Amino acid sequence: MNLPDMEMQLRLSSCPENISQLQPFISELRHQYAFCEDLYYDILLVLTEAVNNSILHGNQADPAKNVDVFVKQEQRQLRFTVKDEGRGFDPAKLADPTAPDRIDCPNGRGVFIMRELSDSLGYSNYGRQLDIRFSLR
């Protein structure tokens, strides 16, 4: 299969209701790259969590700040980059939601789920940039 060599971008102002724009964006990607339904839902869930975190935690839901989502096909992978304009954070200080003392906590599982569903996930720029990779199956 000859995959298109292009980069797509989605820019969202940091209003929580803008998360709804992800679904049509990812649907278009599915059309472009013809990936399976399971991968579509993994990407949708991971990007929804990543953008939600960027809007609420990174940009503090400030509509004057943006969240950018970039996607580029690299060989047999899709590489997503999610950037916010917030103050950043130290990803190494995220608590392990599977630790016995955190198992009953109602929050804090988003990054864990993103790591489990993607092929790779890494932060840079003081936590303001998230790079996520999915293998095209």
**What are the tokens at 116?**
């489990």
| Residue 97, pLDDT above cutoff 50 | yes
Q: Report strand pairing: 120-124 vs 129-135.
A: antiparallel
Percent with pLDDT over 70 in the chain: 96
What's the gap between Cα 70 and its chain centre? 10
**pLDDT (average), residues 64-72:** 97
Q: How far apart are CA 84 and CA 13, in angstroms?
A: 10
* Residues listed for the chain: 137
Stretch 30-56: mean pLDDT? 97
What integer is the mean pLDDT of 97-119?
90
- Number of helices and strands (H, E) in the chain? 3, 5
Q: Residue 44 region, left (φ>0) first, then alpha (ψ -120 to 50), else beta?
A: alpha
Q: What is the set of domains in the chain, with CATH numbers?
A: 7-135 (3.30.565.10)
State pTM to two decimals.
0.91
Mean pLDDT of 27-53: 96
